[in-house]
């Protein structure tokens, strides 16, 4: 690294606003980042799809597997107790991480997709009937659209879509006008996985609650990148996936308000979620175990808890500041690439954006952009990002997307901008 680049990174990452020493992207804690790809150092700019794993998370899962592994809530043997204790401690650490009022409000699921499906199947089928309304936004990922369409089909509920402005921000005036006495649920993303737009969740919560509706928030792209307190923002349900927050695949979280969870029927039946079973009758356990049928992701829960601790120790305000600075630096660089158009950015809202940028290049398909960059070891995502309705709204078939994580540096952005210059040369 050259001296000038070092100082640029320092300047960019200055954390004066949040205190503490200057932020230094901890690349060396992520073993995969030291492997070359196609003969070049790996530049991982696809954290919104999934985040790479720090040693601390990998070690937590290995150490648990090597010393305390057993099934949970079953065995009366020593390891059974040890594993159950670790699993329930992991739940408590997650609860503290998101500001839940207790560990019993944290349900371990497979990921955000399952969390939202759980709410649709359980809360939806119990409390949403024909003619009742569910409101989503044009920004949503398919996993916050399709479960509501399935619910619509089974109940006759009405699905409404709150529009966005051209700069990718939610139109709050129109949202408020759509809310009414039939609105049962507002289901919105916290941060757009395509544009990085950050939604004003506390305001949306107030609007939803004013008409007696509940608020579900898809927090996949928020939890790893900014401090989230589920109670302070006024959510009723909050869903996220561990793999996007530097934790393992196969586990995610549904947080729900205690009184709502207590009123909800199970989503799946099986072992673990029952107090007693006869062929005539089954008595259910209380939440969260009521919603965790079968052997849960035990090893992964330990990895998720380690990821929460890792993010807490690094400091989410500092991570957020670092990624916002990287976004601003990248926008400057991207502006120098001929024919490149950033999608849905700009306006007065740029300051609040998360570290996700979508763009197109004249005459080059986004898949070709990604393929040429891959040749230089640079990983970005191209496609519709599981947000086809948003692509239609933005009048693009697909975009190229870069997304930053806590390990990215200005050098990664410089490599991206140089790589995009090569894309321009390859495609004339
Ligand atoms: N919502 C958003 C905003 C996402 O970015 C994603 C993952 N791309 C999901 C939901 C779904 O997450 P998962 O596939 O981990 O269930």
Does a structural domain hold residue 62? Answer: no
**Looking at the predicted structure, is the pLDDT value of residue 351 above 70?**
no
Check whether the bond before 288 is cis (ω within 30° of 0). yes
CB of 146 sitting under 6 A from ligand 1: no
Does a structural domain hold residue 145? Answer: yes
Distance 245 CA to ligand 1 centre (A): 11
DSSP string, 323-370: HHHHHHHHHHHHTTSTTEEESS--GGGGGG--SEEEEEETTB-HHHHH
CB of 192 sitting under 6 A from ligand 1: no
Domain residue limits at 421: 3-54+315-426
- Return the residue whose CA atom lies nearest to atom 12 of ligand 1: 112
Helical residues (DSSP H) of 236-315, grouped into ranges: 258-262, 298-314
CB of 113 sitting under 6 A from ligand 1: yes
347 shares a domain with 303: no
246 shares a domain with 299: yes
- Helix 410-426 × helix 316-334 angle, to 10°: 30
260 shares a domain with 205: yes
Provide the whole-model pTM: 0.95
The pLDDT of 142-158, averaged and rounded, is 98
Does a structural domain hold residue 59? Answer: no
73 shares a domain with 33: no
Distance 144 CA to ligand 1 centre (A): 9
Does a structural domain hold residue 63? Answer: no
Residue 386 appears among annotated catalytic residues: yes
The dihedral of CA 173, 177, 178, 180: what is its sign?
positive
The continuous run of DSSP H or E covering 36 comes out as strand 36-37
What is the distance between the alpha carbons of residues 78 and 63, in angstroms, rounded to a whole number? Answer: 17
> Quick check: 383 and 141 in contact, CB under 8 A?
no
The dihedral of CA 31, 252, 223, 143: what is its sign?
positive
213 shares a domain with 111: yes
181 shares a domain with 284: yes
Nearest CA to 274 out of 71, 70, 69, 73 is that of 73
pLDDT tens track for 214-262? 999 999 999 999 999 999 999 999 999 999 999 999 999 999 999 999 9
pLDDT tens track for 72-90? 998 789 999 999 999 999 9
CB of 68 sitting under 6 A from ligand 1: no
């Amino acid at each position: 690294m050259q001296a000038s680049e070092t100082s640029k990174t320092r300047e960019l990452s200055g954390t004066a606003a949040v205190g503490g020493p200057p932020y230094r992207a901890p690349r060396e804690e992520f073993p995969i980042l030291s492997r070359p790809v196609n003969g070049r150092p790996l530049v991982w700019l696809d954290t919104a799809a999934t985040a790479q794993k720090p040693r601390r998370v990998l070690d937590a899962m290995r150490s648990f597997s090597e010393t305390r592994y057993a099934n949970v809530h079953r065995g009366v043997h020593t390891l059974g107790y040890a594993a159950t204790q670790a699993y329930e401690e992991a739940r408590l650490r997650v609860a503290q991480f998101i500001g839940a009022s207790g560990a019993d409000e944290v349900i371990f699921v497979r990921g955000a997709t399952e969390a939202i499906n759980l709410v649709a199947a359980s809360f939806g089928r119990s409390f949403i009937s024909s003619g009742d309304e569910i409101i989503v936004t044009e920004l949503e990922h398919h996993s916050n659209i399709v479960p509501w369409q399935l619910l619509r089909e089974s109940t006759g509920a009405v699905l409404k879509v709150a529009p966005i402005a051209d700069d990718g921000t939610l139109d709050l005036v129109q949202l408020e006008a759509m809310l009414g006495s039939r609105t049962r649920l507002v289901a919105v993303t916290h941060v757009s996985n395509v544009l990085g737009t950050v939604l004003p969740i506390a305001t949306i919560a107030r609007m939803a609650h004013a008409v007696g509706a509940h608020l579900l928030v898809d927090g996949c792209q928020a939890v790893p990148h900014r401090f989230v307190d589920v109670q302070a923002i006024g959510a009723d349900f909050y869903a996220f996936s561990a793999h996007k927050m530097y934790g393992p695949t196969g586990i995610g979280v549904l947080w729900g308000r205690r009184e709502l969870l207590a009123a909800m029927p199970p989503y799946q039946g099986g072992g673990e979620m029952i107090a007693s079973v006869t062929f005539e009758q089954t008595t259910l356990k209380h939440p969260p175990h009521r919603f965790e049928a079968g052997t849960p992701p035990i090893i992964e829960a330990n990895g998720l808890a380690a990821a929460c601790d890792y993010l807490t120790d690094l400091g989410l305000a500092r991570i957020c500041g670092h990624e916002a600075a990287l976004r601003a630096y990248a926008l400057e660089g991207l502006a120098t690439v001929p024919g490149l158009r950033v999608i849905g950015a700009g306006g007065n809202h740029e300051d609040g954006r998360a570290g996700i940028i979508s763009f197109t290049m004249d005459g080059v398909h986004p898949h070709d952009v990604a393929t040429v960059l891959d040749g230089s070891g640079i990983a970005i995502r191209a496609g519709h990002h599981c947000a086809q309705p948003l692509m239609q709204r933005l009048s693009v078939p697909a975009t190229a997307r870069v997304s930053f994580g806590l390990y990215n540096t200005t050098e990664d952005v410089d490599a991206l901008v140089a790589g995009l210059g090569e894309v321009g040369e390859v495609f004339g």
